[in-house]
Structure 1
């Protein structure tokens, strides 16, 4: 199960609640083999919204450990996606935004300090906002870069205490690490901006530090393209936007650092992105990166909804792993449904076994 922002229901400043236990634990009881918990910020100002999950203080350990222990008891592996949202932080959760738009007659996504936001503490590679409705970020100085790196490492130590089975570094969807690699959001003139080598320097710095501190499997989620208009390069050969060619180079550097899996997504960094959405629309990016780096494990996401569709991508060698998010939200029993559809046996939790044992049991041979 892919990480997905579904809750926006953390209490007391980034702490998981009983809602998260029931939500995540429910998938574990229904046969899901591995679950990646939603984007979890390493600093308070890295949350997308005030209601988001965090892992910047020790008091956040126990609520997550409770979830992990429950999932492990069901035989399910559990990981967490560590993130900093960069310029796309201090924004309303979707349901809060709708209410605010009604009461204030406003459409802005920015949560003010009075609304539990932190618009004056939004940081990014460059002082470029995502849109006019988002906060205006401050360009990160070296002390900011170090503070974020230290926060990632502190969160990794908490992951060890919690017992997570893997960590997924969030380098996609227009959040901080994605903002560094794309020239649409990074116009720095120091060692972290300009050339491709410079723009990928900070994400690689974070990844290298985490790899040295974390001995279990390490994933990296990236957006393989910004879906911006025009080619990746202009007529002078200068990079215009983030795309597959640059992603291929980044993935090669990530592989050298010992990352175990690249989780391939797209988009999220350009307000006017135009995405040709359709079944499996992001799979070709995973396939291309897999072809360029055949020894690296790649996963695919994006409108993968049917078991046979998912299995075909694996059998055709287009990807090694399938991450599914929204289809699990629509059908929490999807793993058992997939087993039925593909004619294989799984053993869900005993509480659900009776409902599925007949449809999953081998069919007797037809009589002559």
Structure 2
């Protein structure tokens, strides 16, 4: 098959055609012929974790819109997005969106930030979700809402959408060069880490006061918490051994337990990572990105947590499972499993046919990427059946999403199925599935990646192809001009 010559999901001939195509790729992905509805549906079954009862198995991933006010408060666009999370009927809102614990940790100048001044409006976001959920379902029974706490680390842009102001855990031989980290700048000190841990604890106390059921101590996608997990060459108490590399997480969790005892704790975790990728220079031409190829790297490559050091293009969950054992001892059994980073290997985290402007065309059929994530969660669930695991990476399944989601839940591969950009333009998707309605193909995400291309270029995120709110906005014209200039 030629580069980029992958069939679109919509071109496959129903479930049978979908299954046959997966078979041709050597993929044994579970897929039910019929999606059940009503109380006997596997997706409709409630589940309980850490004293929180979640009404069914369809949940919403955290998705930030790069659209808050510069002082960290939510904007009208933010409020609209959270209301639609409520209207989705999903019984678990995992974090809503990444909320920075202090201003220098923002991934963009308009990221939600927990401060004394923004606290009341961040509390109001929870109320907005509940109101939307009641409107859609008639009540808010068994609805669980969390807030994701973060520091963006290497990918901080607190003042300028175009300029990284990185705060890093260690010097990475590839990422420092790729993202312009000056060699003369130091890494975050142990004393500053302790102050940052205090900031997480303060933010969690505020989240508790806001009424959130849990906080997510974010350890994924290349942000600071995730980067600590691969800090094998960092000296001192926060690097080297796995015990040291998990100290950041452990001290945050211990502090939250002490200062906000009512609050439950989850972790969104990149269970595996890889080397950074780039467009193949041999196949890239002006206006057309080539397929992704790995950056030149030496082996052993110790910088990919959950990766095989001798072949980092393969995953190895040995340390990931060791981390699960550590989380079990901490009493954290609520994990949203994701992968890698959208900044340096997006095909692993969110398989798509169309790349964002700073990405590359997929180096593999995106269905392979979906199956990789399903397999990782299956392996972790088999090893840790007492954990409640939420899976990621389903969007590329498109109209076959309900068939696969039901199958993996029914077979015990995963507990909760996470929906991300699928609900930006189609928030009713969870309710449609649970009520036995067919997927509305005209509103279904086709992974055009505009929701990523826009914020990468300082424009608010949203589903520009399908959501009329964004299609009619001034930002739509900016994005269209940007994409035209890139092609030209």
TM over 0.5: yes
Equivalent residue number for residue 150 of structure 2: 83
Choose the corresponding residue for 2:391, options 282, 295, 300: 300
1:209 paired with 2:282, answer: no
Q: Indicate if the aligned counterparts of 1:8 and 1:51 stay in contact, CA closer than 8 A.
A: yes
Equivalent residue number for residue 267 of structure 1: 340
Gaps in structure 1 of 5+ consecutive residues: 97-108, 112-118, 344-368
Q: Bigger shift: 208-217 or 24-33? A: 208-217
C-alpha distance in 2 between matches for 1:226 and 1:40: 23
Choose the corresponding residue for 1:252, options 325, 333, 339: 325
Q: Indicate if the aligned counterparts of 1:17 and 1:63 stay in contact, CA closer than 8 A.
A: no
1:331 paired with 2:422, answer: no
Equivalent residue number for residue 175 of structure 1: 223
C-alpha distance in 1 between matches for 2:388 and 2:249: 19
3-state SS, counterpart of residue 99 of structure 2: strand
User: 1:135 deviation in Å?
Assistant: 4.4
Distance 1:59 1:197, change over 3 A: same
Equivalent residue number for residue 110 of structure 1: 163
3-state SS, counterpart of residue 218 of structure 2: strand
Equivalent residue number for residue 319 of structure 1: 414
The C-alpha deviation readout for 1:134-188, integer Å capped at 9, x for no partner, is: 44463121221111110001001110121112211110100111111114xx521
User: 1:34 deviation in Å?
Assistant: 2.2
C-alpha distance in 1 between matches for 2:337 and 2:241: 23
Q: Indicate if the aligned counterparts of 1:40 and 1:53 stay in contact, CA closer than 8 A.
A: yes
User: 1:196 deviation in Å?
Assistant: 2.4
TM-score norm. by structure 1 comes to 0.77
3-state SS, counterpart of residue 171 of structure 1: coil
Q: Indicate if the aligned counterparts of 1:224 and 1:247 stay in contact, CA closer than 8 A.
A: yes
Which one scores higher on RCO, CA 8 angstroms, separation ≥ 6? 2
Distance 1:52 1:149, change over 3 A: same
Equivalent residue number for residue 105 of structure 1: none
Q: Indicate if the aligned counterparts of 1:90 and 1:135 stay in contact, CA closer than 8 A.
A: no
Choose the corresponding residue for 1:37, options 76, 92, 96: 96
Choose the corresponding residue for 2:236, options 180, 190, 193: 190
Distance 1:134 1:45, change over 3 A: farther
Equivalent residue number for residue 59 of structure 1: 117
User: 1:263 deviation in Å?
Assistant: 0.9
C-alpha distance in 1 between matches for 2:124 and 2:342: 34
Equivalent residue number for residue 170 of structure 2: 126
Gaps in structure 2 of 5+ consecutive residues: 1-58, 135-139, 276-293, 307-316, 349-363, 439-488
Distance 1:126 1:227, change over 3 A: closer
Distance 1:174 1:194, change over 3 A: same
TM-score norm. by structure 2 comes to 0.59
C-alpha distance in 2 between matches for 1:269 and 1:196: 24
Q: Indicate if the aligned counterparts of 1:65 and 1:163 stay in contact, CA closer than 8 A.
A: yes
1:242 paired with 2:290, answer: no
User: 1:127 deviation in Å?
Assistant: 3.9
